[in-house]
Amino acid sequence: MQVMAQFTVPVPDAGVEEATDAVTIGEALQAAAQTSAGERPVDLADAAAVQAAETRATGLGRVIPGGVAAAAQQAAETNMRPRVSDGEKLRLRDVLDSAAAVLPANKVATREDAVAVATAAERNAAAGAGGGGKGVADAVAVAAEMNDKRMTRTRQA
């Protein structure tokens, strides 16, 4: 096999959140890890919600190999194995604790992001199983709401 070319994929500028005090998607993911949702084992709905969040944060439209979403998917699959005890299951906090630092790009959370993450979680939630992605979806929704309030205050000033 011979390498014919190497490509660089541009990602959205991460400078927006540095210039404001707005909450990014990565920060929202880390916040989810610090809530009671962070104590629950990762399930497939959590993995789907994290994937939607990562995709929205990076703007790449795909999962990043070795990224937060890939780690969440791997954790969910590991947790589904029959021989994995509750004590051995990977928790959401294990996957999301450093999400903002791991994401190659990170954008300010918006309502559209919150809807996309919630939709992914709902689509993949099994009735009554695990957290159903709710912790991740709620964290992104709260971040988007905080950002909306900041924007409203900024416009009124």
The answer on pLDDT for 1 being more than 50 is no
> Which amino acid is located at 43 in the chain?
D
The answer to whether residue 125 is domain-embedded is yes
Q: Kindly report, residue by residue over 13-38, the tens digit of the pLDDT.
A: 444 444 468 999 999 999 999 999 89
Instruction: Give one DSSP letter per residue of 75-143, joined into a string.
Output: HHHHHHSTT--GGGSPBHHHHHTTHHHH-SS--B--HHHHHHHHHHHHHH--TT-TTTTHHHHHHHHHH
C-alpha 92/C-alpha 59 separation (Å) is: 23
pLDDT above 90 covers what percent of the chain?
68
pTM for the complete prediction?
0.83
Expressed as residue numbers, the domain containing 23 is: 19-156
The answer on pLDDT for 150 being more than 90 is no
C-alpha 146/C-alpha 22 separation (Å) is: 8
Q: How confident is the model at residue 152 (pLDDT cuts 50, 70, 90)?
A: confident
The chain-wide mean pLDDT, for the chain, equals: 85
Q: How confident is the model at residue 9 (pLDDT cuts 50, 70, 90)?
A: very low
The answer to whether residue 10 is domain-embedded is no
The answer to whether residue 2 is domain-embedded is no
Q: Which residues contact 89 (CB under 8 A, 6 or more apart)?
A: 41, 42, 78, 79
Domain count, the chain: 1
The answer to whether residue 9 is domain-embedded is no
The answer to whether residue 13 is domain-embedded is no
